[in-house]
């Protein structure tokens, strides 16, 4: 009788194990500038029958370190393609991935802020000269691509030396945007994709910064070695016209455009 019970139990356990494995979400790592756009894309993908996604946001540099140390992500959307190519060289990806978008930077303040915003940062320059800027947010340039681009912008505008002591560094560009839009700082330089979100667009002032003021923000995604079929399906979905239109709505420029 015990032998029969064991024979019946084993297939049941195997079936349960298979069911749990199938139900496990697809682990996606994404740059923080994608927080709002990926929330919309993930919901659309799942509503169309795609597998459940578990998305972790952070700075691209920090995520790259986590993947290098064995983090079980299956798909990585980086804000800087160099991180993807670094992982490819280390043999941690299926291939070199694809460019999915080019991002843009903005100067942003809360709606009622005194600091004026304009594309060439003339208002910021005047406020700095008048001693009216106490704190200014950017992402940490050590591991956040948008932080590095913000430094390039401030140097291009000739403001780097004056503004350095005023800087408040976010761990990633999403945190920098939170500082800049909630009054923690007087303003900041962050990703256009964040301020274009429905959560922020009506409560901030912003101006897009000229593209030639900084290196191109080329954003690349890649499947990791352990990618599941569900991860591959989402990777393919992100390259389809419907997904591309959502990226475009959040201010990204798409490949071939």
Q: What is the DSSP code string of the chain?
A: -HHHHHHHHHHHHHHHHHHHHHHSPEEEEEEGGGHHHHHHHHHHHHHTTPPPEEEEEE-HHHHHHHHHTT---SEEE-SSHHHHHHHHHTT-BSS--EEEEEE-EEEEEETT-SS---TT-HHHHHHHHTT----EEEE-TTT-HHHHHHHHHHHHTT-HHHHGGGEEEESSHHHHHHHHHHTSSS-EEEEHHHHTSTTTTTSEEEEEPPGGGS--EEEEEEEBTT--HHHHHHHHHTTSHHHHHHHHHTTPBPTT-
Per-residue confidence (pLDDT) for residue 6, from 0 to 100: 45
- What mean pLDDT is reported for the chain? 92
Digit-coded pLDDT (tens) for 101-111: 999 999 999 99
76 phi and psi, to 5 degrees? -125, 125
**Tens place of pLDDT for every residue, the chain, 257 residues?**
444 444 444 444 444 444 444 568 999 999 999 999 999 999 999 999 999 999 999 999 999 999 999 999 999 999 999 999 999 999 999 999 999 999 999 999 999 999 999 999 999 999 999 999 999 999 999 999 999 999 999 999 999 999 999 999 999 999 999 999 999 999 999 999 999 999 899 999 999 999 999 999 999 999 999 999 999 999 999 999 999 999 999 999 999 87
**pLDDT for 223:** 98
Question: Domain 2-102+218-249: what homologous superfamily?
Answer: Periplasmic binding protein-like II (3.40.190.10)
Fold of 103-213: D-Maltodextrin-Binding Protein; domain 2 (3.40.190)
- Residue that has been written with the tokens 């920090």 in this structure: 62
pLDDT tens across 73-123, in order? 999 999 999 999 999 999 999 999 999 999 999 999 999 999 999 999 999
pLDDT at 24: 86
| C-alpha dihedral (95, 98, 104, 109), degrees to nearest 10 | -70
Asked if the domains 2-102+218-249 and 103-213 are classified in one and the same CATH topology, the answer is yes
User: The pTM is what?
Assistant: 0.89
Domain residue limits, the chain: 2-102+218-249, 103-213
Which among 8, 16, 126, 30 has a CA at the least distance from the CA of 78?
Answer: 30
């Amino acid at each position: 009788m015990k032998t029969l019970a064991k024979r019946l139990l084993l297939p049941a356990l195997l079936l349960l194990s298979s069911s749990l494995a199938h139900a496990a979400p697809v682990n996606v790592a994404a740059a923080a500038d994608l927080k709002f756009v990926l929330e919309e894309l993930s919901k659309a993908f799942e509503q169309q029958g795609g597998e459940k996604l578990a998305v972790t946001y952070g700075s691209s540099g920090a995520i790259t370190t986590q993947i290098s140390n064995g983090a079980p992500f299956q798909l990585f959307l980086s804000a800087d393609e160099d991180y993807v190519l670094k992982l490819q060289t280390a043999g941690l990806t299926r291939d070199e991935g694809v460019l999915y978008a080019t991002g843009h930077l903005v100067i942003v303040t809360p709606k009622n802020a005194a600091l004026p915003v304009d594309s060439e940062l003339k208002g910021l320059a005047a406020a700095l000269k008048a001693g009216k800027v106490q704190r200014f947010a950017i992402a940490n340039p050590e591991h956040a691509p948008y932080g590095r681009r913000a430094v390039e912008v401030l140097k291009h505008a000739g403001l780097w030396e004056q503004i350095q002591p005023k800087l408040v560094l976010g761990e990633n560009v999403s945190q920098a945007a939170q500082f800049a839009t909630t009054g923690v700082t007087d303003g900041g330089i962050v990703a256009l994709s964040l301020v274009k979100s429905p959560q922020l667009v009506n409560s901030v002032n912003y101006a897009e910064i000229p593209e030639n003021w900084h290196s191109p923000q080329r954003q690349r995604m890649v499947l990791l070695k352990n990618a599941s079929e569900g991860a591959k399906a989402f990777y393919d979905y992100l390259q389809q016209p419907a997904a591309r239109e959502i990226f475009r709505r959040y201010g990204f420029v798409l490949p071939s455009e």
